[in-house]
A and B are shown apart, each in its own frame.
Chain A
Amino acid sequence: MATARTAASGRSDQGRGGNPPGERAQAPAGRRGTIDGLLATKEIVVACGPGGVGKTTTAAAAAVLAAVRHGSKVLVLTVDPAKRLADALGLDGIGNAEHRVPDEAFRAAGLKPRGQLWAAMLDTRESWDALIRRQAPDEQTRDEILANPLYQNISGRFVQSHDYIAMERLYEIHSESDYDLIVVDTPPTRNALDFLDAPERMADFFSSRLLRWLIVPYRSRLVNVATKPFYQVADRILGTEFLADISEFFVLFQSMYDGFVERSESVGRLLSDRRTTFIVISTLEAVPLREAEFFAEQLNARKLHLGAIVLNKVLPDYLRDSDGAAVAESMRERADDLADQMAPNLAALDPVLGDSDQIARVLTEVAGSFLNFQVVALREMEERSMLSVTPDVLATVPFFDTDIYDLAGLVRLGEQIWD
């Protein structure tokens, strides 16, 4: 971890505001090594990890708590919140725009925030359009690109476009607004690393030699010897007309080339800046945990700052209790005997409860259920002890037996991660 930090701070000389160059951002004394510390000192927290582990909810909880506890202006940028979570953040029907979660909403949840909470959703299509509008050299190019069927396809379907635009939007907001902290949820990707590579890949894409190959004949109708075989194959597979469509699209895009590459590089720099930290979220299920572990290793390898690992939905400690197991086994074995002895007392509460067969069934089920869950709880602990990466912060969040979908719930979850 030390290496990652040093490398990152070396690059932060161009950073605006914040700490002077060379000086490491640190949590205040007593707060080091907590997520609290990260939220108090970093400007960007990227929540990442495999799908289905509560990434969006965790990101929202961190942002809500940061707003409640610190006097800072916090933005949570979410990708695909559950409807009720979106409602709680007032995101329903808001689209791409950032908006403030009203203080009344906090008051209704019995909270008095010291700071401000803002929320925004990532709309891929809208963000792409905004990017084109910003980067296009003139109105005509802009309109032609926006109307191009290939562009519409790319912005809507091109899988990696989500990853790129999420990071691009983050950069945009970070450089142009005055949030103290931006917590960003990452889109579900095929590969958790896609969004890290997206800026670089986008730059590669636009600086590709092949791009020039495609554009040259369209412009000059001059096909040289080197590119001829490529066109022959491409023509046969795709058809000349489609190839011309592609060319046209790229000629238009070419006009934004410099801007795009520069932008992609800036986005990449922002991610490796020391003001940015990554929180990897997982559950203790084997498959997601392996993916999270791989992700954490990759962050280290890329010298990106792994701030914390958050383990969600962890079963409660009492399930691993060995005395509990002995008690459960005894309850199961002696269910009939126990039921007979307890029947009179239960019947005294209500005659309908005094059926000893029924009591025995309940005792058997209860004991069996404990032993079942113990298998899972022990497996989880084993998985945790085998974790190959050791982040500064390893937070465990217990399983909540109800869904979290309001500000109060998010605070409750946040407190678990926080302290």
Chain B
Amino acid sequence: MHALLDHRLVFVTGKGGVGKTTVASAFALFASLRGKRVLICEVDAKGDVADFYEAPATGFNEKEILPGLFAMTMDTEASLREYLKLQLRIPVVGRIGPLAKAFDFVATAAPGVREILTVGKLCYEVRERNYDLVVVDAPASGHIIGQLAAPQAINNLVKVGLIRSQTDWMLEILSDPSQTGLVAVCTPEEMPVNETIELAVRVREETTVEFSAVVVNRVLPELFGRQEEEVFDALTTVGPLAQLNGLVGGDTGPVLDAARLAVTMRRTRSTHLDHLRQSIDEAIPMLYLPYLFTRSHGLRTTRQVAASLGEELGY
């Protein structure tokens, strides 16, 4: 399990709304607290990552937002400019305008070009050893496959040219399970679970990237053991309920209803979790993060999640 932290490039994905960015931010924070030099890169460019660290908005140029933790937002045009400058030694400073337009067009026309500039930039940071670990707040599970498969797709489509020669070393990094891994985040609900199971299959069949772990987010606490649940059931029957109300001097109905709701929610969710565990290769670890009953999101929550994640990773 500890192996996840020894990777150099970790993609974090998941269905929308499951807490993908929370987990990516927390994982990056945890790694940096363990003394690693970490880059977290947001690919979706919603600006959420900065929120999770309560830091100012990030851009393409990485910025140290906490000790040892750098953040950046992917921008394919900026990535192209950097690529042209570093790889092709084409001086484009000042002429990026028309070129960007041309690029935009070619990127739309030739699928994979945009994706490869994203993946290329990430792999570049790994190859240059600028960081110990690059964490990617990757596109949602619906889009991640296209991104991870891009180098291979380009390899198949483009027979010659510089892009072609560039894909080889990227594929090498992406395909090396000791360097690169993918983490799928889900919640114990039907759709996220199904999407995770589907994703595991597609990652295996359509990409060369290792499926490293599933993070199950927002797991509700188990209120009772079986015997305790019988006590709870008895408490809600007419006689004991009346006694309890009398002793407390108020209506305990809402409080007991809330517990009933919590128990039912947990039960429905554990069916989905069982389904998930049975459908995912046993060798793939599942990490569980508790549901947080907090007022709001921010650095405090990110720290809490980082601590839980650390525990689950065995630290």
List the interface of chain A (C-beta within 8 A of B).
Answer: 50-53, 82-84, 149-150, 153-154, 157-160, 188, 190, 205, 208, 210-211, 214, 230, 233-242, 245-246, 249-250, 283, 285-288, 291, 316, 318-319, 321, 323-324, 326-328, 330-331, 334, 338, 341-342, 345-346, 349-350, 352-353, 355, 358-359, 361-363, 365-367, 369-370, 372-376, 379, 399, 401-403, 405
Contacts and interface: CB of A to CB of B under 8 A. Distances in A.
A405 B264 CA distance: 17
B256 A324 contact: no
A407 B118 CA distance: 43
Interface of B: 15-18, 21, 44, 46, 48, 84, 88, 90, 98-99, 101-102, 105-106, 108-113, 139-140, 142-143, 146, 149, 153, 157-164, 187, 189-192, 194, 221, 223-224, 227-228, 230-232, 234-235, 237, 239-240, 243-244, 247-259, 261-262, 264-265, 268, 293-297
Contact of B230 (A53, A353, A403): A353
Contact of B102 (A154, A233, A405): A233
Given A153-B157, A158-B111, A190-B139, A379 B106 contact: no
Contacts of A361: 228
A331 B161 contact: no
B105 A208 contact: yes
Contacts of B261: 316, 373, 399, 401
A157 B88 contact: no
Contacts of B110: 150, 238, 242, 246
14 contacts: A234-B106, A237-B163, A242-B110, A331-B255, A341-B247, A342-B240, A342-B243, A342-B247, A345-B239, A345-B243, A358-B227, A358-B231, A362-B235, A366-B223
B259 A190 contact: no
B111 A246 contact: no
A241 B109 contact: no
Contacts of A349: 234, 237, 239-240
Given A50-B16, A153-B111, A214-B109, A401 B153 contact: no
A238 B255 contact: no
B295 A379 contact: yes
Given A319-B258, A331-B252, A362-B224, A52 B153 contact: no
Contacts of B17: 50-53, 283, 285, 287-288
Contacts of A401: 261, 264-265, 268
Nearest to A241: B159
B297 A342 contact: no
Contacts of A350: 230, 234
A370 B247 CA distance: 18
Contacts of A210: 101-102, 105
A149 B157 contact: yes
A195 B254 CA distance: 43
B111 to A, nearest CB: 5
Q: Which 4 A-B pairs have the closest CB atoms?
A: A51-B16, A52-B17, A239-B161, A372-B293
Contacts of A319: 254, 258
Given A52-B17, A288-B17, A359 B231 contact: yes
Given A234-B102, A361-B228, A239 B163 contact: yes
A58 B33 CA distance: 42
A53 B191 CA distance: 11
B7 to A, nearest CB: 25
A342 B232 CA distance: 12
B108 A153 contact: no
B40 to A, nearest CB: 17
Contacts of A160: 108
A366 B142 contact: no
- Most chain B CB atoms below 10 A, which of A237, A241, A353, A374: A237
B199 to A, nearest CB: 13
B293 A403 contact: no
Given A50-B17, A235-B161, A359-B235, 4 more contacts: A190-B44, A283-B17, A358-B228, A370-B259
A370 B161 contact: no
A150 B157 CA distance: 8
Contacts of A399: 261, 265
A375 B294 contact: yes
Contacts of A190: 44, 139-140, 143
Nearest to B222: A365
Contacts of A83: 194
Contacts of B48: 287
Contact of B268 (A50, A246, A402): A402
Contacts of A374: 258
A149 B44 CA distance: 28
A242 B44 contact: no
